[in-house]
Structure 1
Amino acid sequence: MMQEWYMPIQRSKPAVKTITVTGQGTIITKPDTVIITLGVRTEHKNVHEALAENAKRANAMIHALKAIGVREENIDTASFSIYPKYDYSNGNAALIGYEVEHIFDITVKDPKSVGNIYDTAVQNGANIARHIQFRLANEQPYYQQALSLAVKNAKEKAIVIARTLGLPLHDIPIQVTEESVAPSIPRTPSSIATLAASKAVTPIQTQDIIITATVQAVFPY
């Protein structure tokens, strides 16, 4: 008796049609932490004298900063350098002395006190200013807000596209991909300046911090 075999017909599922959009969310906030980079530069014909003078001025600055409430753990050495100085006149290089530079990073938890900290440092030995960094102690809550806005922005874009084209969009995405974006942290220019003591408190204007999140979302229709 002949057997008959029946092969089931495989019917391919129709491909899901999708709209892919990019959403972006931005949060603008004020910094709660400031890192000041400043220091002490001394010069002398004798390297030991240059070192001794630098240490004296640096210690006086640190003591004064601690006296106005800056914690010792928030004062860190960023760099320490000794440079020989030469006179290149008449085509010859003659050693004429040494320059010692001690640079500190000072972390300030109260942005309003930055001007006073600058003035105190200058009045007690600091004569170099480099840059100021405005930061957030904890960026994560702000980034999460920006991420939520990015998802909403992606959904709004998809809805606009679908309505414009007359498509029956499903407003729940089948895929969402987070694209990491580093927060933009404004800084003052990284230039070296020589500081001079002033009777008025140095006005330091805090800059906004911009935190951005970006996602790519795929919506079916």
Structure 2
Amino acid sequence: MYFPHTASPAKTIAVTGQGTLRVKPDTVIITIGIRTEHTSALEALTENATRANAMLQALKAIGVANEDIETSSFSIYPKYTYTNQTPILAGYEVEHMFDMTVKDVQKVGMMYETAVTNGANIARQLQFKLANEQPHYQQALTLAVKNAQEKARVLARTLQLPLYDVPIEIKESHPSPLPPRTMVLADGAAPPIQTQEVVISATVHAIFSY
């Protein structure tokens, strides 16, 4: 009787490799704006527009380019008070937020000071970034692959297995972005913004055979 040959299942080791770089940022995105309140929606809107225009003109006067400023959100909200659980319209709140790209991180504090001096009263985000992150990510990815190989070698050496150094399967895992910092603006001198390093991480899942 003939019995067909059945191949043995592949013997594998699965590992996760990680690579991380810390890089000085060359770009900062700040979100600042104007919030105004008034019993009249038109008055709240008019005051907001006046203060926003003054802030933008002041920022442009210190060298902020038009293309580096864009509206991120604009809203008008009714505000209510409650009497015996009955809502009574008390006025309106207008909020106009701007995203600003700062290509010289040393000027971030001066931009906040200029914005506050000329009408800004709210800040939402402060994001340190890289204009071109890809080369740094590729370096982190290389480190992640090497880390996966080293982990597989350690496991194989410990178990005395004849490991093949090149993985038979490898999958890149994209990390979630870090949340931006949140700030509150107040009157006064330029805030002492401390530059944060941008953390570039890469993760790979690799399978090696032995």
Q: TM-score, normalised by structure 1?
A: 0.84
Q: Name 1:197's counterpart in structure 2.
A: 187
The match for 1:101 is 95
- Gap regions ≥5 residues in structure 2: none
Deviations 1:57-109 (A, max 9, x none): 10010011111111112211122122233343466544343222211111111
State the 1:44 CA deviation. Answer: 2.6
1:188 aligns to 2:181 (yes or no): yes
Match of 1:44 in 2: 38
Supply the distance in 2 between the matched residues of 1:131 and 1:211 (Cα, whole angstroms).
Answer: 20
After TM superposition, the structure 1 stretch with the greater mean CA deviation from structure 2, 29-38 or 92-101, is 92-101
Structure 1: 5+ residue stretches without partners: 1-6
Change (3 A) 1:44 1:175: closer
Q: Deviations over 1:119-172 (max 9, x none)?
A: 000111111122212222222112111110111011111111111111222212
Distance 1:63 1:96 in 2: 32
SS at match of 2:51: helix
Q: Distance in 2 between matches of 1:96 and 1:106?
A: 33
Distance of 1:115 and 1:107 partners within structure 2? 13
Task: Answer whether contact 1:33 1:108 (CA < 8 A) is retained.
Answer: yes
Q: How far is the alpha carbon of 1:14 from its aligned partner?
A: 4.3
Deviations 1:18-67 (CA, angstroms, capped at 9, x unpaired): 22222111112222221111111222333222222111110010011111
8 Å Cα contact 1:134-1:185 kept in structure 2? no
**Taking structure 1 as reference, are residues 169 and 37 closer, same or farther at Cα in structure 2, changes over 3 Å only?**
same
Q: State yes or no: 1:144 paired with 2:133.
A: no
Q: Percent same amino acid at aligned positions?
A: 62
Give the conservation status (yes or no) of the 8 Å contact 1:134–1:186.
no
Residue 113 of structure 1 aligns to which amino acid in structure 2? Answer: K
- Separation in structure 1 between the aligned mates of residue 87 and residue 204 of structure 2, nearest angstrom: 60
SS in 2 for 1:217: strand
Distance 1:94 1:12, change over 3 A: closer
Alpha-carbon separation, structure 1, partners of 2:90 and 2:178: 42
Instruction: Note the C-alpha offset of 1:17.
Output: 2.4
Amino acid at match of 2:186: A
Report the CA distance shift for 1:219/1:99 in structure 2 as closer, same or farther (over 3 A).
closer
* Residues 1:55 and 2:44 are matched in the alignment: no
Alignment RMSD (CA, Å): 2.3
Question: What's the TM-score once normalised by structure 2's chain length?
Answer: 0.88
AA aligned opposite 2:168: I
Structure 2 distance, partners of 1:124, 1:93, is 35
Aligned-partner Cα distance in 2 for 1:89–1:78: 35
- Partners of 1:40 and 1:60 in 2: how far apart? 11
Aligned counterpart in structure 1 of residue 201 of structure 2, from 191, 207, 212:
212
